[in-house]
Amino acid sequence: MLERELQVSNKLGLHARAAAKLVQLLSGFQSQVTLLGRGREVNAKSIMGVLLLAAAPGATLVMRAEGADEAEALAAAAALFERGFDEDG
């Protein structure tokens, strides 16, 4: 299992559109991926789970991945977070 801290860097936080992008990205990987934040652990491939975190701009989340492509899944998700979910601003 691999684990990585990620910071929500877009100005709207982990809202519906950003959460959908994350879920869509991770659905292409076989690994189990979870997100931890605000005392909760959720399935990062579930839109409802990701939205449940209500992660605001600047929030720090921990992502865990376990499986055959765990490193690739974490790297892809980290890149999406770093790009601000491809949103302007």
Q: Annotated active-site positions, please? A: 15
Start-to-end CA distance of the chain, whole Å, equals 33
* pLDDT attached to residue 89: 53
Q: Are 67 and 32 in contact (CB under 8 A)?
A: yes
**Reported pTM:** 0.94
pLDDT (tens digit per residue) in 41-89: 999 999 999 999 999 999 999 999 999 999 999 999 999 999 999 986 5
Domain tally for the chain? 1
* pLDDT attached to residue 87: 87
Domain containing 54: what range? 2-86
DSSP assignment of 31-60: SEEEEEETTEEEETT-HHHHHHT-PPTT-E
Average pLDDT over residues 20-25: 98
Helix (H) or strand (E) holding 4: strand 2-7
> What's the CATH code of the domain at 36?
3.30.1340.10
